[in-house]
């Protein structure tokens, strides 16, 4: 058994490296080797290393490797679920979430709690931690830990909150930054079966060869159709960051327990009668959920969150006359307002920080997923190849060399240079010309081929 670490450039889908180790492997050692390749790649592309974002899979999801990634921007799924028991994390989970997100492919709705600075190791390494929660279902969750009917997921990142919100970080890990689709394409377009060889070195060679063929097909396909890299707005700009009078959102600060608004109408349910849930919702006395609908930063630094129930739950409710303002004649669902007070003092933003804040959208550039590789395969399948051999006069045959004896074979072997010389064509061998039909002139010129 051998574990493997692969390195992929997400924008172009180019493989940059593969590293393997016997048994359970040395994942931290492989990560350090991968960082060296990333540094060399960034230097070759004249790109500052601080602008490179590294996405790591779940096997790296612990605070022990945060020190290995010092100075780099990273996004990874965490597996140190004991962090959920920390008082700072528990206090944050008692407050409303920063945002509610819905995954487009699976439809999973997550409540995100952003903790900008958290000690993740016993030696004091710190990281930004995002806790994602969603209700558990009858099927056990493949990722995360389930506690009291709620699934908790952890995400570690070094991306700054003023530029990447918690939703941006989670979407980057689960969406554009993921390479599970690339692995699916790899299985469909070529067969990188690791078990074509029963030896570890054979498996390693086959994996490297498969990735090399993948990159060649991608590069030649791009040469065939040199399309520009497309740009997608990954996340829009944050309008509230343009005004200096508006305080940062909950993704850049920590808040204490919510204070619910009270009503002066006697005999009616008040805000503190609704129980806050771990997933960021409220529960009314009749066990119906209220979801956060608005998040309004106030000028004094507080954050007001407005929860609303479903009208379908309010209309048949037995407590409607005690809950809603006008009783059964009310046409709108019950709403509850909560005010959150910051528990930490945020540093004042200077002009440089403001210029780098989320006033600009996050843009993602990439090539089309399969276009270049597929176009090259179409060309190879449709072209015509003509091979001609020049006419030559028969040469006098050289005497057949005598075979080596078994003793000679045991004590004397041909070197690689002698083997290549023995198998190389002689100077008197007839020349061979290969003509390819159906190759575009620009593509042939890029490969250095002669056109007619």
* Least confidently predicted of 161-165, 166-170, 413-417: 413-417
Domain boundary among 341, 369, 399: 341
More confident: 219 or 350: 219
Residue 153 lies in a domain: yes
Q: Do 189 and 291 belong to one domain? A: no
Q: Do 413 and 298 belong to one domain? A: no
Percent of the chain with pLDDT over 90: 11
pLDDT digit string (tens) for 65-90? 888 887 788 999 988 899 999 999 99
Q: Do 92 and 173 belong to one domain? A: yes
Percent of the chain with pLDDT over 70: 84
**DSSP characters for 311-353?**
HHHHTT-TTHHHHSTTGGG--S--EEEEEE-BSSPPPPP-HHH
The arithmetic mean of pLDDT across residues 389-409, rounded, is 69
Q: Do 314 and 389 belong to one domain? A: no
Counting the structural domains of the chain, the total is 3
pLDDT digit string (tens) for 276-306? 887 778 889 998 888 887 777 776 667 788 8
More confident: 339 or 325: 339
Residue 19 has pLDDT above 90, yes or no: no
Domain boundary among 276, 308, 341: 341
- Distance, in Å, from the CA atom of 114 to the CA atom of 125, rounded to the nearest integer, reads 17
pLDDT at res. 393: 60
- Distance, in Å, from the CA atom of 16 to the CA atom of 201, rounded to the nearest integer, reads 19
Residue 350 lies in a domain: no
Structural tokens at position 40: 């060399």
**First-residue to last-residue Cα distance in the chain:** 53
Residue 266 has pLDDT above 70, yes or no: no
- Closest to 211 in 3D by CA, of 449, 18, 442, 345: 18
pLDDT digit string (tens) for 89-98? 998 998 888 8
More confident: 422 or 135: 135
* Least confidently predicted of 131-135, 257-261, 407-411: 407-411
Q: Where are the alpha helices (DSSP H) in 363-440?
A: 371-382, 406-411, 416-423
Residue 133, SS3? strand
Q: Do 217 and 283 belong to one domain? A: no
Structural tokens at position 10: 């997400």
Domain boundaries, position 396: 385-446
Helix (H) or strand (E) holding 157: strand 150-157
- Distance, in Å, from the CA atom of 7 to the CA atom of 14, rounded to the nearest integer, reads 9
Q: Do 204 and 274 belong to one domain? A: no
Residue 336 lies in a domain: yes
pLDDT at res. 86: 92
pLDDT at res. 346: 39
pLDDT digit string (tens) for 342-389? 654 434 444 433 333 566 788 888 888 788 888 888 888 877 888 887
Band the pLDDT of 247: cuts 50, 70, 90: very low
Residue 417 has pLDDT above 70, yes or no: yes
Residue 245 has pLDDT above 90, yes or no: no
Q: Do 211 and 120 belong to one domain? A: yes
Band the pLDDT of 420: cuts 50, 70, 90: confident
The answer to whether the beta carbons of residues 99 and 167 sit under 8 Å apart is yes
pLDDT at res. 130: 95
Structural tokens at position 104: 């487009």
* Least confidently predicted of 129-133, 157-161, 193-197: 193-197
The answer to whether the beta carbons of residues 201 and 138 sit under 8 Å apart is no
More confident: 356 or 175: 175
- Closest to 73 in 3D by CA, of 160, 178, 174, 161: 160
Band the pLDDT of 200: cuts 50, 70, 90: confident
The arithmetic mean of pLDDT across residues 116-128, rounded, is 87
Residue 379 lies in a domain: no
Band the pLDDT of 235: cuts 50, 70, 90: confident
Q: What is the DSSP letter of 63?
A: G
pLDDT at res. 410: 67
Band the pLDDT of 23: cuts 50, 70, 90: low
Residue 351 lies in a domain: no
Q: Do 166 and 300 belong to one domain? A: no
Residue 74 lies in a domain: yes
pLDDT at res. 68: 85
Residue 320 has pLDDT above 90, yes or no: no
Residue 182 lies in a domain: yes
The arithmetic mean of pLDDT across residues 52-76, rounded, is 84
pLDDT at res. 356: 38
- Distance, in Å, from the CA atom of 423 to the CA atom of 444, rounded to the nearest integer, reads 30
Residue 146 lies in a domain: yes
Average pLDDT, the chain: 79
Angle subtended at Cα 118 by Cα 115 and Cα 119, rounded to the nearest 5 degrees: 165
- Domain CATH for 47: 3.90.350
Structural tokens at position 167: 């939703």
């Amino acid at each position: 058994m051998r574990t493997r670490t692969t390195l992929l450039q997400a924008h172009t889908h180019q493989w940059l490296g593969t590293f393997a180790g016997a048994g359970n492997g040395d994942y931290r050692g492989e990560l350090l080797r991968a960082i060296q390749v990333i540094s060399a790649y960034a230097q070759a592309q004249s790109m500052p290393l601080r602008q490179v974002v590294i996405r790591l899979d779940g096997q790296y999801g612990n605070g022990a490797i945060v020190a290995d990634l010092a100075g780099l921007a990273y996004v990874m799924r965490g597996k140190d679920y004991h962090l959920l028991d920390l008082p700072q994390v528990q206090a944050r989970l008692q407050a409303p979430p920063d945002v509610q997100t819905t995954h487009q492919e699976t439809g999973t709705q997550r409540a995100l709690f952003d903790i900008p600075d958290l000690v993740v190791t016993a030696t004091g390494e710190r990281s930004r931690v995002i806790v994602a929660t969603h209700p558990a279902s009858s099927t056990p969750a493949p990722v995360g830990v389930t506690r009291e009917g709620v699934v908790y997921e952890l995400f570690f990142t070094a991306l700054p909150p003023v530029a990447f919100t918690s939703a941006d970080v989670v979407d980057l890990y689960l969406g554009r930054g993921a390479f599970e689709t690339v692995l699916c394409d790899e299985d469909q377009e070529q067969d990188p079966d690791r078990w074509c060889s029963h030896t570890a070195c054979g498996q390693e060679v086959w994996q490297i060869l498969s990735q090399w063929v993948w990159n060649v097909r991608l590069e030649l396909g791009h040469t065939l159709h040199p399309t520009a890299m497309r740009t997608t707005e990954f996340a829009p700009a944050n309008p509230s960051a343009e005004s200096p009078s508006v305080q940062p959102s909950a993704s850049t600060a920590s808040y204490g327990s919510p204070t619910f608004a009270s009503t002066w109408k006697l005999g009616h349910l008040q805000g503190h009668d609704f129980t806050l849930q771990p997933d960021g919702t409220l529960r009314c006395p009749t066990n119906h959920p209220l979801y956060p609908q608005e998040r309004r930063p106030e000028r004094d630094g507080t954050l007001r969150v407005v929860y609303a129930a479903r009208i379908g739950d309010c209309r048949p409710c037995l407590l409607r006359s005690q809950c809603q303002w006008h009783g059964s004649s009310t046409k709108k669902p019950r709403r509850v307002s909560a005010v959150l007070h910051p528990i930490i003092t945020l540093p004042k933003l200077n002009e440089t920080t403001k210029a780098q804040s989320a006033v600009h959208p996050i843009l993602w550039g990439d090539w089309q997923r399969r276009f270049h590789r597929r176009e090259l395969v179409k060309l190879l399948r449709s072209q015509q190849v003509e091979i001609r051999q020049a006419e030559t006069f028969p040469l006098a045959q050289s005497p057949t060399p005598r075979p080596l004896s078994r003793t000679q074979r045991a004590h004397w072997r041909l070197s690689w240079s002698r083997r290549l010389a023995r198998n190389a064509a002689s100077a008197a061998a007839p020349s061979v010309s290969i003509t390819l039909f159906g190759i575009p002139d620009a593509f042939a010129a890029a490969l250095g081929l002669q056109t007619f």
